[in-house]
Chains A and B, each alone.
Chain A
Amino acid sequence: MTVDVQYYVLLSMAVFCIGLFGVLTRRNALLFLMSVELMLNAANINLIAFAFYHGNLTGQLFALFIMALAAAEVAVGLGIILVLYRNFRDVDVTVPTTMRW
């Protein structure tokens, strides 16, 4: 049996909102990374669902692209977090505001 496309959209919206909530409320940089991961995967769900719905592979192709991008983003993000920790002994994103201007 097949699931209607609107359920996928609802699922993706829920996951995206959880990610957004994490970004807006958390102060821990690691949780930031995870929340961003959630939002990216919400987008992936959408892409796959609509690819299935329309019966072509373009959406799946882009989902693969996003996964590669997410991997790269995590690598850079973790690097930044490591440096942050080394300099400030903390991974709280409100601490390094001294670098703003």
Chain B
Amino acid sequence: MAATATGPFGFAPAIAVLPLVAFVVTLLFGKHLPKKGAFPGIIATAGSLLISLVMFAAVGGGNAHHTTLYEWTAGAATSATNTEGVAFTFGILIDPLSALMLVIVSLVALLVHVFSLGYMNAEGETGLPRYYAELGLFTFSMLAFVFADNLLMAFMFFELVGLCSYLLIGFWFRTESAPSAAKKAFLVTRFGDYFFLVGVVAIAATFGTVGFAGEGSFVTAAETAIDDGATLFGFDAQTWVTITGLLVLGGVLGKSAQFPFHTWLPDAMEGPTTVSALIHAATMVAAGVYLVARMFGYYALSPTALTIIAFVGGFTALFAATMAVVKDDVKQVLAYSTISQYGYMMLGLGVGGYVAGVFHLMNHAFFKALLFLGAGAVIILMHHEQDMWKMGGLKNKAPVVYYTFLAGALALAGIVPFSGFWSKDEVLFDALAVGLDEPVILAAYAMGLLAVFFTGFYTFRMVFLTFHGEPRSETAEEPHPVGWPVKIPLLALGTLAAVAGFVNLAPVASLFDLEISFLEFWLDGEYGSVEGLTYHAYHDTVAEMAFEESYIGSETTTMLLSAGLSLGLALAGAFTAHTLYNVPEPSRHTQKLGGAYNVLRSNYYQDEYQVWLAEGLTLPLARAADRFDQTVIDGIVNGTSTVSLFSSSWVKRIQTGIVTNYAALLVAGFIGLLLILGALGGWFA
């Protein structure tokens, strides 16, 4: 158990409460505030960042924090393995993982707020107070989700995050496409969350606890159940852990836009670009992967669940990367790259590479926020034109935007030494090490590796089309200038995208035998930690329950081989893009793909088949059910009433209305009764 709520940890709730206050203030008084209510949000997120950094430092100082703030209700003991009643609480858990994530989220949220000053305010948008209020609520929900200490609280804020993204994607609700995209995002993620809710209920009912950490956590309970060989709900304990884990995974796949629930994310580009940056880098989409990392100890118990996570991740990485290749809209390319990158994180976590997955989550937060804000800057430059074929030649006209965007692109493509290289390489290395023994993981690794090439290609296709060559439209020749609120966030994130990888130089550490894998030490609880939630504990569980690692030659050889392979592919992709598109007058090469182009362009007909599922399958089924309801069910109900109506129309004739008849019936009945009773009593015998 961790330290009590003393010292800096007493301020922990304020991390989430500050943006909530900003939400309320902006909602109520936003119209009368300067800049339409931008400042409460900036101040609040700056405060959150400050407190998060204090938390980070405190965890670095060897502490951790786990406390219960409020208890909703405590039930009677009904569960299979826990003798105490299940308690539903609000609590705070600050361990290395959540401290790191709090810093990332509040930093990105702050930068997005600042960027909004340049992106939204400069355009004289209407509804800005609403925009800033929703940003505040979004930040609040995500921060509260990050430090949640139990699954139910996590679920609540998970839902709130979904709601906020719905509101923000549909910010321009007067257009036709934005509300529809918002609804799509809401419905698709909600479909996944339905399984999540069932999973929460199943876990609470099985283990009698929903806590993430400590002795009373469901992870510990599940581990004990497996060790004891218990039978839960008619299943072997491990099978049951797999089932519940996969149910929760449904929510993760929905939020993190993994196949087959990824279709909402490209449409979500209808929202303001700043919102896309926030959704993709630090909040909505990150929430899914963060949840897997948060309850990693639980997934580590089930090799099946891990394999599914890894395979879905690897598949999504390749799947989304191929679609990004043919997009013309700069935001669409980034959208598919997000899906692809989250696929890598899932792959990393699925093979037991907890550090690799979290590392990529962190790096991705920085470089994807950077790329989206960069795309936002480009959109300002281009007077709200998003088609890359109308850009070109922006390199010299907006050098700050260009160089920061380039840093983000290098990180995304995974070119050494930018941050994305280190984390992506680690993900792939972990996948390879496990994959040498597990064919399914090897397939996932192969897909992830292949996706590296496509990532390099589409990233640099985007860069070359946007910034290089000759301007291809009038607006590209005379771009709109960008101000400091735009440049400052770009510079901050550009620096981070370039250097963030240095916190965990695993290949270098292995090669020269140095102690510089700081993120690994951090997550391993070398500083502060909560018992059981460390990389070491997870790694032992994975090794015991699921996967063996093996190497080609030695560990170092394998690591270098993997790194060389992925770097080579990324460079090959980038070089292909350079040959095809880094010319003064690039032409569309996509037509050469022939039939494949149409398939990619239509996103593998994913939307079509989902629409078909709804219209071709669900609708007829619903019609049939409706007919059954109308005819059979209603028929029975109506039939019953018809029969009684009909029979009563005959029976009522006995009521003549003449008192004499009633009296006669009374007397006749009485005499009849008398005779019957007499006969039975033996009068006439």
User: Which A residues form the contact surface with B (CB < 8 A)?
Assistant: 20, 23-27, 32, 93-94, 96-101
Contacts and interface: CB of A to CB of B under 8 A. Distances in A.
Interface string B651-675: 0100111111001100100000000
Contact of B667 (A24, A26, A94): A24
Nearest to B662: A23
Nearest to A94: B658
B660 A97 contact: no
Contacts of A24: 660, 663-664, 667
A100 B656 contact: yes
B660 A27 contact: yes
22 contacts: A20-B663, A20-B667, A23-B660, A23-B663, A24-B660, A24-B663, A24-B664, A25-B660, A27-B660, A32-B659, A93-B658, A94-B658, A94-B660, A96-B657, A97-B656, A97-B657, A99-B657, A100-B655, A100-B656, A100-B657, A101-B652, A101-B655
Nearest to B666: A23
Nearest to A98: B657
Interface in B538-597: none
B655 to A, nearest CB: 5
Given A24-B664, A32-B659, A99-B657, 17 more contacts: A20-B663, A20-B667, A23-B660, A23-B663, A24-B660, A24-B663, A24-B667, A27-B660, A93-B658, A93-B659, A94-B658, A94-B660, A97-B656, A97-B657, A98-B657, A100-B655, A101-B652
A94 to B, nearest CB: 5
A94 B655 CA distance: 13
A83 to B, nearest CB: 15
Taking chain A's interface residues, is the majority helix, strand, or loop, or is none over half, making it mixed?
helix
Contacts of B657: 96-100
Contacts of A97: 656-658
Interface string B287-329: 0000000000000000000000000000000000000000000
Interface string B637-657: 000000000000000100111
A97 B652 CA distance: 13
A93 B663 CA distance: 12
A50 B72 CA distance: 74
A64 to B, nearest CB: 26
Contacts of A93: 658-660
B651 to A, nearest CB: 11
A23 B664 CA distance: 9
Contacts of A27: 660
Contacts of A20: 663, 667
A101 B655 CA distance: 8
Contacts of B655: 100-101
A96 to B, nearest CB: 7
A100 B659 CA distance: 11
B653 to A, nearest CB: 9
Contacts of A32: 659
Nearest to B660: A24
Contacts of B656: 97, 100
A96 B659 CA distance: 10
Query: Nearest 9 A-B pairs (CB), nearest first?
Result: A97-B657, A100-B657, A23-B663, A93-B659, A94-B658, A100-B655, A24-B664, A97-B658, A24-B663
A93 B664 CA distance: 14
Most central of B652, B659, B664 by chain A CB within 10 Å: B659
A94 B652 CA distance: 18
Contacts of B663: 20, 23-24
Nearest to A25: B660
Contacts of B667: 20, 24
Nearest to B658: A94
A81 to B, nearest CB: 12
A82 to B, nearest CB: 17
A41 B337 CA distance: 103
A93 B661 CA distance: 11
Contacts of B660: 23-27, 93-94
B669 to A, nearest CB: 14
Nearest to A20: B667
A101 B656 CA distance: 9
Contacts of A99: 657
Contacts of A94: 658, 660
B492 to A, nearest CB: 87
A97 B85 CA distance: 68
A23 B659 CA distance: 9
Contacts of A23: 659-660, 663
A99 B655 CA distance: 11
B649 to A, nearest CB: 10
